Structure 1
């Protein structure tokens, strides 16, 4: 049987977009990645990888490289501004339960790893999608430079302020098909977040930098709406972030001039946070000084999960359909999970007709939405625990840190039971005693395996 694969356009070459491209490459499904940036920028802080995503990344053969560039994290520690300990979450205990260590790497290194697995010929830089035309015959996009690309499927992996989502929602709203909850955009930003990863540092100046584990520390400001996190990562570097909790809508004061990641108007915030003490030794400003200025980025953080993820030949992944708190990069992990399930659904399209494509993209949404909703709510809770400065959030933190460990572990173990795999690649061994959540298998892969087995010859 000759399988006719659809051509997939991917708007956005972030971690979600690259994971999807990598999966389609393995599946031999044609695709084109359109990235608005003129060149790759190594933005971001730390990224936590665990049993939710490591098994799938192992299927791509990435585990040896991930192990080399990451360090296990045993504890998530929280301090007051005077560096006295508030509490700690012991995550080392979960290794034997889940079958995988919790590891932390720098987000730029993870980005480079995924980028290296996608042929450069398939990625078009400086290709910002500005308009979308979708019909029963497929999808055509136009980029800011005037070029156009056509395909059978368009995936919006272009971030929280997604052009693809905006175009899709405009069409649905005109047709009276857009839910009311999706008409309000992302809502009021909750935080301003600044992040970066240093150049290699002098280990004699920063205690624990050369240790085999990651030291993860969050400090809460005293009488100020700030919290800041540092984590030692591979290569004698420290990833850092600082969040400013907002008590008003910044759009009303004209402060929301550029809400997306980038080194825009950073200096005022840097001056404000420069002397915040850090557990690694010294002050946050030392880390800022050791970070290339163009790799320090600032963004507004909203919380939102959209109801509409797909329509016709268009679908959304990552921040384009669910924006989460930046708790150790869990939004990125969810984007990668989106990409894995979406690739599975695209792989099982028997014929690239409008009907089959629409059904596959709807299947993706139905498989992923409940888990993304759980992770979004879990992320909100983690955000309150790690960054919240209101009296109710401080009270919540006190209560949670004093709960019995079995109760603290409840949500973590529930999340660990969900680990989507690439259904068209050989599975990895199950190394856990957890009752893993059911995953829809691939009919096409099962058929192809049966046809290629010796018994069928």
Structure 2
């Protein structure tokens, strides 16, 4: 089966590795020139990293990650609102492991060996004849495949070409990301400050702690260059000692920091003919529950499973089974992430105070009910 995977992100790389293990030789294209700017911090739940056991990569992954044993929510002034132990989940299903996205990409790449991986390559057009799909690339060349997998992220070109514009969900918040010394923050704890008109999250990894400083995207909050450092320090002043430590490590105005807009997308269709969507291309995730990468890896495992049990003649039926196994589960957890965003990103001080009081009574399972339920559901 001739398979083209568009996008060498977490979902696309996981699918490629699993397919190679099953004897397929997929073609994987990536529009970036290399993996040098592969992203920032992320947490993986066992929902996703279970695939590493089958690929023989789990021990290496675990050794290069930090286990998140605690999750803390603090208020607008840095006072503790709620502390959750991760033990009830980790003892039963496995720990939440925190790493960097480049680490994860590098690990997945190691499983691809001599795969046909092409950088600086993007899709320009797709022509599905019913028997095959002809893909035209940005260098003007064309090739024919039995299946095209769109794993090209939130702003997927494959999704746009085949399914048209799909509805985005905008929080109208965004934030700046930078790194601090991991020894300057609690090492096994994710700490989030749920403020009023501001949010500050700190997420440790082996290579440093990733910081996300978010607020409504208005005024000049999202503007780089002169004045950025001062604006951010003024925006987040008074959130407590831990935030002050992170602000002291904020790079100067000349540094190229990533600004992360908090939006997601949900495609109404995941498959049409011989084209199928995977990961963020099908349903993108807000980072609020730290579940997006895990969902993409789990989806890749299900798609690889269905593809390993079909041939080109009955491919479309296999794709329909993949959608039946995944779409509801993914969209339920995506809805949980949106619900969490409404709790985390509040502008009103009065509403934020009410939120903080209510949060004291939430269990971790109640905070993200669909995600907690997903741990114990078959796929």
Alignment of 1:146-165 (within 5 A): 146-165=140-159
Matching residue within 194, 209, 213 for 2:176 = 194
Residue 241 (structure 1) aligned with residue 223 (structure 2):
no
On the 8 A contact 1:217/1:279 being kept in 2, the answer is: no
SS in 2 for 1:58: helix
Residue 231 (structure 1) aligned with residue 203 (structure 2):
yes
Q: CA offsets per residue over residues 75-127 of structure 1, 9 Å max, x none?
A: 2112234322122222223222x231222122221122112222354210000
Matching residue within 5, 11, 21 for 2:6 = 11
On the 8 A contact 1:14/1:157 being kept in 2, the answer is: yes
SS in 2 for 1:244: strand
Residue 389 (structure 1) aligned with residue 347 (structure 2):
yes
- Distance in 1 (CA, whole Å) between partners of 2:233 and 2:38 is 19
On the 8 A contact 2:93/2:375 being kept in 1, the answer is: no
Task: Give the structure 1 partner of residue 57 of structure 2.
Answer: 62
Task: Give the structure 1 partner of residue 251 of structure 2.
Answer: 289
Matching residue within 363, 367, 371 for 2:325 = 367
Q: CA offsets per residue over residues 314-344 of structure 1, 9 Å max, x none?
A: 0001111112211264212111111111111
Task: Give the structure 1 partner of residue 335 of structure 2.
Answer: 377
On the 8 A contact 1:92/1:102 being kept in 2, the answer is: no
Deviation at 1:202, TM superposition (A): 8.1
Deviation at 1:44, TM superposition (A): 3.0
- Distance in 1 (CA, whole Å) between partners of 2:107 and 2:241 is 29
Alignment of 1:10-409 (within 5 A): 10-96=5-91, 98-119=92-113, 121-170=115-164, 184-188=166-170, 190-197=172-179, 201=181, 203=183, 206-208=184-186, 213-222=187-196, 225-235=197-207, 237-246=208-217, 266-267=224-225, 270-274=229-233, 276=236, 280=242, 282-289=244-251, 293-294=255-256, 296-327=257-288, 329-349=290-310, 351-353=311-313, 356-390=314-348, 392=351, 395-403=354-362, 407=366
- Distance in 1 (CA, whole Å) between partners of 2:209 and 2:106 is 17
Whose strand fraction is larger, Structure 1's or Structure 2's? 2
SS in 2 for 1:126: coil
On the 8 A contact 2:340/2:367 being kept in 1, the answer is: no
* TM-score, length of structure 2 as denominator length: 0.88
- Distance in 2 (CA, whole Å) between partners of 1:302 and 1:36 is 22
- Distance in 2 (CA, whole Å) between partners of 1:409 and 1:306 is 22
The alignment covers a number of residue pairs equal to 373
Which stretches in structure 2 are left out of the alignment for 5+ residues? none
Q: Describe the shift of the 1:407–1:220 C-alpha distance in structure 2 as closer, same or farther (beyond 3 A).
A: closer
Deviates more, 1:386-395 or 1:367-376: 386-395
Q: Describe the shift of the 1:319–1:408 C-alpha distance in structure 2 as closer, same or farther (beyond 3 A).
A: closer
On the 8 A contact 1:238/1:287 being kept in 2, the answer is: no
- Distance in 2 (CA, whole Å) between partners of 1:196 and 1:108 is 15
* TM-score, length of structure 1 as denominator length: 0.74
Deviation at 1:283, TM superposition (A): 4.0
SS in 1 for 2:37: coil
On the 8 A contact 1:187/1:302 being kept in 2, the answer is: yes
Deviation at 1:188, TM superposition (A): 4.0
Structure whose alpha-carbon radius of gyration is higher: 1
- Distance in 1 (CA, whole Å) between partners of 2:323 and 2:13 is 19
Q: Describe the shift of the 1:331–1:405 C-alpha distance in structure 2 as closer, same or farther (beyond 3 A).
A: closer
- Distance in 2 (CA, whole Å) between partners of 1:293 and 1:341 is 40
- Distance in 1 (CA, whole Å) between partners of 2:228 and 2:309 is 48
- Distance in 2 (CA, whole Å) between partners of 1:324 and 1:409 is 14
On the 8 A contact 2:42/2:290 being kept in 1, the answer is: yes
